[in-house]
Structure 1
Amino acid sequence: MSTWLVVGLGNPGPTYAFTRHNVGFMVVDELAARARSSFTSPRGMRGEVAETRLAASGLGGVGADAQRVVLLKPRTFMNDSGIAVAKVCAFFKIAPDHVIAVHDELDLDFGQLRLKSGGGDNGHNGLKSLRAHLGTGDYPRVRYGIGRPPGRQDPAAYVLAPIPTSLREDYEVETSRVADAVETLMLSGLADAQNRFNS
Protein backbone atom coordinates (compact mmCIF):
# COMPACT_ATOMS: atom_id res chain seq x y z
CA MET A 1 0.00 0.00 0.00
CA SER A 2 1.36 3.43 -0.96
CA THR A 3 2.68 5.82 1.66
CA TRP A 4 1.21 9.32 1.92
CA LEU A 5 3.23 12.46 2.59
CA VAL A 6 1.39 15.44 4.04
CA VAL A 7 3.60 18.52 3.85
CA GLY A 8 2.60 21.73 5.55
CA LEU A 9 4.11 24.75 3.85
CA GLY A 10 5.49 27.45 6.12
CA ASN A 11 8.61 29.04 7.57
CA PRO A 12 10.58 27.54 10.48
CA GLY A 13 11.15 29.24 13.81
CA PRO A 14 9.06 30.98 16.48
CA THR A 15 8.96 34.30 14.58
CA TYR A 16 6.64 32.76 11.98
CA ALA A 17 4.75 30.27 14.15
CA PHE A 18 1.38 32.07 14.29
CA THR A 19 1.37 33.78 10.90
CA ARG A 20 -1.07 33.18 8.04
CA HIS A 21 1.80 31.94 5.86
CA ASN A 22 2.22 29.05 8.34
CA VAL A 23 -1.30 27.63 8.33
CA GLY A 24 0.14 24.55 6.56
CA PHE A 25 2.36 23.89 9.59
CA MET A 26 -0.66 24.34 11.87
CA VAL A 27 -2.63 21.68 9.98
CA VAL A 28 0.26 19.19 10.07
CA ASP A 29 0.70 19.87 13.81
CA GLU A 30 -3.01 19.12 14.29
CA LEU A 31 -2.68 15.83 12.36
CA ALA A 32 0.34 14.84 14.47
CA ALA A 33 -1.56 15.65 17.67
CA ARG A 34 -4.48 13.45 16.55
CA ALA A 35 -2.04 10.61 15.84
CA ARG A 36 -0.18 11.22 19.13
CA SER A 37 2.93 11.29 17.00
CA SER A 38 6.04 13.40 17.68
CA PHE A 39 8.25 15.23 15.20
CA THR A 40 11.93 14.42 14.89
CA SER A 41 14.58 16.01 12.67
CA PRO A 42 16.29 13.10 10.87
CA ARG A 43 19.74 13.84 9.50
CA GLY A 44 19.76 15.01 5.91
CA MET A 45 15.98 15.38 5.62
CA ARG A 46 15.91 19.20 5.95
CA GLY A 47 12.64 18.98 7.84
CA GLU A 48 10.74 17.84 10.91
CA VAL A 49 9.14 14.46 10.28
CA ALA A 50 6.46 12.46 12.10
CA GLU A 51 5.24 9.00 11.10
CA THR A 52 1.85 7.42 11.74
CA ARG A 53 -0.83 5.26 10.16
CA LEU A 54 -4.33 6.09 9.03
CA ALA A 55 -7.15 3.58 9.27
CA ALA A 56 -10.93 3.92 9.08
CA SER A 57 -10.79 4.53 12.83
CA GLY A 58 -8.61 7.60 12.25
CA LEU A 59 -5.00 8.65 12.56
CA GLY A 60 -2.84 6.39 14.69
CA GLY A 61 -5.23 3.55 13.85
CA VAL A 62 -4.23 -0.02 13.16
CA GLY A 63 -5.64 -2.76 10.96
CA ALA A 64 -5.17 -4.36 7.58
CA ASP A 65 -6.47 -1.22 5.87
CA ALA A 66 -4.08 1.14 7.69
CA GLN A 67 -2.05 3.35 5.35
CA ARG A 68 1.35 4.72 6.26
CA VAL A 69 1.41 8.53 6.61
CA VAL A 70 4.46 10.77 6.87
CA LEU A 71 3.96 14.33 8.12
CA LEU A 72 6.51 16.99 7.18
CA LYS A 73 7.34 20.54 8.20
CA PRO A 74 10.30 21.70 6.07
CA ARG A 75 13.10 23.40 7.96
CA THR A 76 14.09 25.30 4.85
CA PHE A 77 12.29 28.57 4.27
CA MET A 78 9.09 28.56 2.21
CA ASN A 79 10.90 29.29 -1.08
CA ASP A 80 12.96 26.08 -0.73
CA SER A 81 10.22 23.74 0.57
CA GLY A 82 10.76 21.39 -2.36
CA ILE A 83 14.24 20.41 -1.13
CA ALA A 84 12.82 18.76 2.02
CA VAL A 85 9.88 17.25 0.12
CA ALA A 86 12.15 15.65 -2.48
CA LYS A 87 14.44 14.19 0.23
CA VAL A 88 11.51 12.70 2.18
CA CYS A 89 9.92 11.32 -1.00
CA ALA A 90 13.20 9.65 -1.97
CA PHE A 91 13.72 8.15 1.49
CA PHE A 92 10.17 6.80 1.91
CA LYS A 93 9.66 6.03 -1.81
CA ILE A 94 6.61 8.30 -2.13
CA ALA A 95 5.23 9.15 -5.57
CA PRO A 96 4.14 12.77 -6.32
CA ASP A 97 0.46 11.75 -6.55
CA HIS A 98 0.70 10.79 -2.85
CA VAL A 99 2.18 14.14 -1.78
CA ILE A 100 -0.47 16.40 -0.23
CA ALA A 101 0.63 20.03 0.07
CA VAL A 102 -1.31 22.16 2.60
CA HIS A 103 -0.82 25.88 2.05
CA ASP A 104 -2.23 29.35 2.61
CA GLU A 105 -4.32 30.83 -0.22
CA LEU A 106 -4.80 34.60 -0.60
CA ASP A 107 -7.45 34.15 -3.32
CA LEU A 108 -9.85 32.33 -0.98
CA ASP A 109 -11.56 34.13 1.89
CA PHE A 110 -10.87 32.92 5.41
CA GLY A 111 -13.22 29.98 6.05
CA GLN A 112 -13.02 28.84 2.43
CA LEU A 113 -11.22 25.62 1.62
CA ARG A 114 -10.47 24.04 -1.71
CA LEU A 115 -8.87 20.72 -2.57
CA LYS A 116 -7.54 20.06 -6.05
CA SER A 117 -4.90 18.09 -7.90
CA GLY A 118 -2.36 19.80 -10.13
CA GLY A 119 -2.80 23.22 -11.68
CA GLY A 120 -0.70 26.37 -11.58
CA ASP A 121 1.25 27.70 -8.61
CA ASN A 122 -0.56 31.05 -8.50
CA GLY A 123 2.59 32.92 -7.47
CA HIS A 124 3.04 30.76 -4.35
CA ASN A 125 6.78 30.28 -3.84
CA GLY A 126 6.35 27.10 -1.79
CA LEU A 127 4.39 25.45 -4.62
CA LYS A 128 6.93 26.67 -7.19
CA SER A 129 9.69 24.98 -5.19
CA LEU A 130 7.72 21.71 -4.98
CA ARG A 131 7.21 21.73 -8.75
CA ALA A 132 10.94 22.37 -9.32
CA HIS A 133 12.09 19.55 -7.04
CA LEU A 134 9.37 16.96 -7.77
CA GLY A 135 9.56 17.60 -11.51
CA THR A 136 5.76 17.93 -11.69
CA GLY A 137 2.87 19.97 -10.35
CA ASP A 138 0.54 16.97 -10.43
CA TYR A 139 0.01 16.37 -6.72
CA PRO A 140 -2.97 17.11 -4.44
CA ARG A 141 -3.14 20.59 -2.90
CA VAL A 142 -5.23 21.67 0.06
CA ARG A 143 -5.79 25.43 -0.23
CA TYR A 144 -6.50 27.03 3.16
CA GLY A 145 -8.19 30.39 2.56
CA ILE A 146 -6.67 33.35 4.40
CA GLY A 147 -8.22 36.16 2.34
CA ARG A 148 -6.64 39.27 0.89
CA PRO A 149 -5.12 41.95 3.14
CA PRO A 150 -7.34 44.90 4.02
CA GLY A 151 -6.87 48.21 2.22
CA ARG A 152 -3.49 48.68 0.63
CA GLN A 153 -1.50 46.45 2.96
CA ASP A 154 1.30 44.62 1.19
CA PRO A 155 0.36 40.92 0.79
CA ALA A 156 3.84 39.82 1.95
CA ALA A 157 3.54 41.85 5.16
CA TYR A 158 0.01 40.49 5.69
CA VAL A 159 0.92 36.80 5.39
CA LEU A 160 4.00 37.19 7.64
CA ALA A 161 2.34 39.26 10.38
CA PRO A 162 1.12 37.39 13.49
CA ILE A 163 -2.53 36.33 13.37
CA PRO A 164 -4.39 38.74 15.68
CA THR A 165 -5.22 37.25 19.08
CA SER A 166 -8.91 37.95 18.45
CA LEU A 167 -8.81 35.55 15.48
CA ARG A 168 -6.69 32.75 16.99
CA GLU A 169 -9.70 30.68 18.06
CA ASP A 170 -11.30 31.00 14.61
CA TYR A 171 -8.05 29.78 13.06
CA GLU A 172 -7.93 26.81 15.45
CA VAL A 173 -11.45 25.77 14.40
CA GLU A 174 -10.62 26.17 10.70
CA THR A 175 -7.31 24.30 11.09
CA SER A 176 -9.20 21.34 12.56
CA ARG A 177 -11.63 21.37 9.62
CA VAL A 178 -8.77 21.45 7.10
CA ALA A 179 -7.16 18.51 8.93
CA ASP A 180 -10.48 16.63 8.57
CA ALA A 181 -10.35 17.31 4.82
CA VAL A 182 -6.81 15.93 4.57
CA GLU A 183 -7.85 12.74 6.39
CA THR A 184 -10.87 12.36 4.07
CA LEU A 185 -8.68 12.81 0.99
CA MET A 186 -6.38 9.99 2.11
CA LEU A 187 -9.18 7.66 3.23
CA SER A 188 -11.75 8.07 0.49
CA GLY A 189 -10.13 9.98 -2.36
CA LEU A 190 -9.99 13.48 -3.77
CA ALA A 191 -13.49 13.54 -5.30
CA ASP A 192 -15.19 12.65 -2.02
CA ALA A 193 -13.09 15.18 -0.10
CA GLN A 194 -13.92 17.88 -2.68
CA ASN A 195 -17.65 17.12 -2.41
CA ARG A 196 -17.55 17.41 1.36
CA PHE A 197 -15.16 20.30 1.93
CA ASN A 198 -14.76 22.49 -1.17
CA SER A 199 -16.40 25.86 -0.62
Structure 2
Amino acid sequence: MKCITGLGNPGRKYKKTRHNIGFMVIDELVSRNNWKLKKDKFNGKSTIETMDGDKIALLKPQTYMNLSGESVRPLTDFYDIDPEDVLVIYDDLDLPTGKVRLRQKGGHGGHNGIRSIIDHLGTREFKRIRIGIGRPVTQQPVVDYVLGEFPKAEAADVDASIQKAADACEAWLKKPFQEVMNEFNR
Protein backbone atom coordinates (compact mmCIF):
# COMPACT_ATOMS: atom_id res chain seq x y z
CA MET A 1 0.00 0.00 0.00
CA LYS A 2 1.17 3.54 -0.77
CA CYS A 3 0.31 6.81 0.92
CA ILE A 4 0.08 10.23 -0.72
CA THR A 5 -0.08 13.10 1.74
CA GLY A 6 -0.66 16.73 0.82
CA LEU A 7 0.34 19.29 3.42
CA GLY A 8 -1.62 22.37 4.39
CA ASN A 9 -3.65 23.99 7.13
CA PRO A 10 -7.30 23.15 7.85
CA GLY A 11 -10.15 25.61 7.56
CA ARG A 12 -11.63 27.98 4.99
CA LYS A 13 -9.31 30.76 6.12
CA TYR A 14 -6.31 28.91 4.64
CA LYS A 15 -7.98 27.14 1.70
CA LYS A 16 -6.35 29.10 -1.15
CA THR A 17 -3.07 30.02 0.54
CA ARG A 18 0.40 29.18 -0.77
CA HIS A 19 0.99 26.87 2.21
CA ASN A 20 -2.00 24.73 1.13
CA ILE A 21 -0.73 23.71 -2.31
CA GLY A 22 -0.33 20.12 -1.04
CA PHE A 23 -4.02 20.05 -0.13
CA MET A 24 -4.84 21.39 -3.59
CA VAL A 25 -3.06 18.44 -5.23
CA ILE A 26 -4.95 15.94 -3.06
CA ASP A 27 -8.20 17.72 -3.98
CA GLU A 28 -7.27 17.38 -7.65
CA LEU A 29 -6.62 13.64 -7.29
CA VAL A 30 -9.93 13.20 -5.45
CA SER A 31 -11.78 15.17 -8.12
CA ARG A 32 -10.20 13.30 -11.05
CA ASN A 33 -11.08 9.92 -9.62
CA ASN A 34 -14.47 10.67 -8.00
CA TRP A 35 -13.13 9.76 -4.57
CA LYS A 36 -14.30 11.20 -1.27
CA LEU A 37 -12.21 12.22 1.73
CA LYS A 38 -13.66 11.84 5.20
CA LYS A 39 -12.51 12.96 8.62
CA ASP A 40 -11.11 10.05 10.56
CA LYS A 41 -9.08 8.87 13.52
CA PHE A 42 -5.76 9.89 11.96
CA ASN A 43 -6.15 13.61 12.71
CA GLY A 44 -6.87 14.16 9.06
CA LYS A 45 -9.13 13.70 6.11
CA SER A 46 -8.34 10.53 4.24
CA THR A 47 -9.56 7.80 1.96
CA ILE A 48 -8.36 4.36 0.97
CA GLU A 49 -8.82 3.71 -2.73
CA THR A 50 -7.67 1.32 -5.43
CA MET A 51 -5.97 2.41 -8.63
CA ASP A 52 -4.69 -0.09 -11.20
CA GLY A 53 -5.16 -2.86 -8.63
CA ASP A 54 -3.02 -1.17 -5.96
CA LYS A 55 -4.33 0.23 -2.70
CA ILE A 56 -3.54 3.84 -1.94
CA ALA A 57 -4.17 6.07 1.06
CA LEU A 58 -4.72 9.78 0.43
CA LEU A 59 -4.30 12.08 3.43
CA LYS A 60 -4.79 15.75 4.24
CA PRO A 61 -3.59 16.23 7.85
CA GLN A 62 -5.90 18.45 9.89
CA THR A 63 -3.28 19.14 12.57
CA TYR A 64 -1.97 22.38 11.07
CA MET A 65 1.26 22.34 9.11
CA ASN A 66 3.76 22.22 11.97
CA LEU A 67 2.21 19.04 13.41
CA SER A 68 1.71 17.09 10.16
CA GLY A 69 3.62 14.09 11.51
CA GLU A 70 0.90 13.62 14.14
CA SER A 71 -1.43 12.64 11.30
CA VAL A 72 0.95 10.83 8.96
CA ARG A 73 2.41 8.48 11.59
CA PRO A 74 -0.89 7.05 12.92
CA LEU A 75 -2.13 6.37 9.38
CA THR A 76 1.11 4.68 8.27
CA ASP A 77 1.22 2.64 11.49
CA PHE A 78 -2.41 1.53 11.17
CA TYR A 79 -2.04 0.39 7.56
CA ASP A 80 1.56 -0.81 8.02
CA ILE A 81 2.85 1.49 5.26
CA ASP A 82 6.63 1.66 4.99
CA PRO A 83 7.99 5.25 4.98
CA GLU A 84 9.55 4.52 1.57
CA ASP A 85 5.98 4.11 0.27
CA VAL A 86 4.97 7.58 1.51
CA LEU A 87 4.87 10.56 -0.84
CA VAL A 88 4.47 14.04 0.66
CA ILE A 89 3.43 17.08 -1.41
CA TYR A 90 4.27 20.52 -0.06
CA ASP A 91 5.13 24.14 -0.85
CA ASP A 92 8.73 25.26 -1.37
CA LEU A 93 9.90 28.86 -1.06
CA ASP A 94 13.16 28.07 -2.87
CA LEU A 95 11.48 27.13 -6.14
CA PRO A 96 9.85 29.67 -8.46
CA THR A 97 6.06 29.68 -8.43
CA GLY A 98 4.75 26.77 -10.45
CA LYS A 99 7.99 24.75 -10.57
CA VAL A 100 7.59 21.10 -9.52
CA ARG A 101 10.51 18.99 -8.24
CA LEU A 102 10.46 15.37 -7.09
CA ARG A 103 12.93 13.91 -4.58
CA GLN A 104 13.51 10.40 -3.22
CA LYS A 105 14.40 11.62 0.28
CA GLY A 106 16.14 14.47 2.09
CA GLY A 107 16.11 16.86 4.99
CA HIS A 108 13.40 19.31 5.96
CA GLY A 109 14.99 22.36 4.34
CA GLY A 110 13.42 24.57 7.01
CA HIS A 111 9.88 23.35 6.25
CA ASN A 112 8.17 22.67 9.57
CA GLY A 113 5.62 20.23 8.13
CA ILE A 114 8.41 18.07 6.72
CA ARG A 115 10.37 18.43 9.97
CA SER A 116 7.36 17.09 11.88
CA ILE A 117 6.99 14.10 9.53
CA ILE A 118 10.71 13.28 9.80
CA ASP A 119 10.46 13.48 13.60
CA HIS A 120 7.38 11.25 13.77
CA LEU A 121 8.44 8.67 11.18
CA GLY A 122 12.00 8.65 12.51
CA THR A 123 13.42 8.77 9.00
CA ARG A 124 14.06 11.05 6.02
CA GLU A 125 13.43 8.13 3.66
CA PHE A 126 10.10 9.18 2.17
CA LYS A 127 9.34 10.62 -1.23
CA ARG A 128 8.50 14.25 -1.86
CA ILE A 129 6.94 16.51 -4.44
CA ARG A 130 7.95 20.11 -3.83
CA ILE A 131 5.87 22.80 -5.50
CA GLY A 132 7.39 26.23 -5.88
CA ILE A 133 5.68 29.21 -4.34
CA GLY A 134 8.62 31.61 -4.74
CA ARG A 135 9.86 34.03 -2.11
CA PRO A 136 8.35 37.37 -1.18
CA VAL A 137 9.76 40.18 -3.30
CA THR A 138 8.98 42.77 -0.62
CA GLN A 139 9.93 42.90 3.06
CA GLN A 140 6.82 40.87 3.85
CA PRO A 141 7.49 38.33 6.63
CA VAL A 142 7.71 34.76 5.29
CA VAL A 143 4.89 33.56 7.55
CA ASP A 144 2.53 36.19 6.10
CA TYR A 145 3.66 35.30 2.59
CA VAL A 146 3.05 31.54 2.87
CA LEU A 147 -0.31 32.17 4.53
CA GLY A 148 -1.28 34.58 1.76
CA GLU A 149 -3.14 33.66 -1.41
CA PHE A 150 -1.52 33.42 -4.82
CA PRO A 151 -2.04 36.56 -6.91
CA LYS A 152 -4.29 36.21 -9.97
CA ALA A 153 -1.27 36.75 -12.24
CA GLU A 154 0.15 33.41 -11.02
CA ALA A 155 -3.10 31.42 -11.41
CA ALA A 156 -2.08 29.66 -14.64
CA ASP A 157 1.32 28.61 -13.23
CA VAL A 158 -0.24 27.42 -9.98
CA ASP A 159 -2.91 25.39 -11.77
CA ALA A 160 -0.31 23.85 -14.09
CA SER A 161 1.83 22.85 -11.10
CA ILE A 162 -1.16 21.22 -9.37
CA GLN A 163 -1.95 19.24 -12.54
CA LYS A 164 1.69 18.20 -12.99
CA ALA A 165 2.02 17.10 -9.35
CA ALA A 166 -1.21 15.08 -9.60
CA ASP A 167 0.06 13.49 -12.82
CA ALA A 168 3.31 12.57 -11.03
CA CYS A 169 1.35 10.98 -8.16
CA GLU A 170 -0.64 8.86 -10.60
CA ALA A 171 2.53 7.90 -12.49
CA TRP A 172 4.13 6.71 -9.22
CA LEU A 173 1.29 4.26 -8.78
CA LYS A 174 2.31 2.58 -12.05
CA LYS A 175 6.11 2.75 -12.11
CA PRO A 176 9.16 3.20 -9.88
CA PHE A 177 9.65 6.63 -8.35
CA GLN A 178 13.08 7.01 -9.96
CA GLU A 179 11.45 6.77 -13.40
CA VAL A 180 8.78 9.27 -12.36
CA MET A 181 11.50 11.64 -11.10
CA ASN A 182 13.38 11.37 -14.39
CA GLU A 183 10.22 12.14 -16.33
CA PHE A 184 8.85 15.00 -14.22
CA ASN A 185 12.09 16.73 -13.18
CA ARG A 186 13.04 17.58 -16.76
Query: Match of 2:47, SS?
Result: strand
State the SS of the aligned residue for 1:156: helix
Match of 1:46 in 2: 43
Q: What's 1:122 paired with?
A: 109
Normalising to structure 2: TM-score of the pair? Answer: 0.95
33, 36, 42: which one pairs with 1:35?
33
Equivalences for 1:1-199 in 2 at 5 Å?
3-42=1-40, 44-55=41-52, 66-199=53-186
- Residue 169 of structure 1 deviates from its aligned partner by 4.0
Quote the RMSD (CA, aligned, Å): 1.2
Post-superposition CA distance 1:101-136 (Å, at most 9, x none): 000011111221111111111000000000111011
| TM-score of the superposed pair, with normalisation by structure 1 | 0.89
**Cα offset, 1:165, TM superposition:** 3.3
In structure 1, runs of 5+ residues without a counterpart are 56-65
Given that 2:97 and 2:133 are in contact with CA atoms closer than 8 Å, whether structure 1 keeps it comes out as yes
Structure 1 residues 114-159: Cα deviation after superposition (integer angstroms, max 9, x where no partner): 1111111100000000011101111001111111111322221111
Aligned amino acid, residue 140 of structure 1 = K
Aligned residue pairs total 186
2:100–2:164 CA contact under 8 A, matched in 1: no
What is the CA–CA distance in structure 1 between the aligned matches of 2:155 and 2:33, rounded to whole Å?
23
CA contact (8 A) 1:32 1:50 kept: no
SS in 1 for 2:116: helix
Structure 2: which 5+ runs fail to align?
A: none
